[in-house]
Amino acid sequence: MDKGSYGYMNNYKMKHGIALLIYAVIIGVLIVIGKLNVLDNVTVSAVLVVLAILMVLPAAKHFIAAIIVISYKSATKSDIDYFDEITKDIKTGISIYDLTLSSEEKIYYTPYIYVNGNNLYCLYVNVNKAGMDTIKSYINKILYNHGYDMNIIMCKDVESMNKALSEAVPDEDQDDKALNNLKELLLGYNV
């Protein structure tokens, strides 16, 4: 599944969770076989234990990846369908789903962004006003550092996003290549 597509975050968590489970099983089996000396060979048993220890590092990578995003979840399919229904009439924008923006201090998550003309509509749930301002400032910093000057509209819930999108107007001068470049820029900050 591609970054920026609907369901990416749920898929990302599932992928890393399954990898972690597989590593745990393999590590457990190697340790049990190595410690029980099932093979009746001390050297092979020692090598199996060392292999199990070495496998902890890649397992830790998957563990950290899963823990970082464990609290994030994709928007519901009905919400996304509704956003898509509203924006299909605009025809000049682009949708980005399940986006994380990583900074030096924190990782911010938004289940949905819509870009139309000079406006970036960002759905950000479960955050207070101060947090919303911080996220808006960070998105603005990313855009400004790459030459974009956009109006960022932060929406705290699905209802406010629906209202904001229903008021959006088509931008006939919108350049599809510029939209895709902006999408790729934002996805570059994604996990």
Answer whether 0.85 is exceeded by the pTM: no
* pLDDT tens-digit map of 21-58: 999 999 998 888 887 776 677 788 888 888 989 999 99
Domain ranges in the chain are 8-69, 77-187
Fold of 77-187: Trna Endonuclease; Chain: A, domain 1 (3.40.1350)
For residue 130, the model assigns a pLDDT of 65
Cβ neighbours of residue 49 closer than 8 Å, sequence gap 6 or more: 30, 31, 34, 35
CB 179 within 8 A of CB 115: yes
For 49-105, the pLDDT digits (tens) are 889 899 999 999 999 988 888 888 888 888 888 888 888 777 678 888 888 888 777
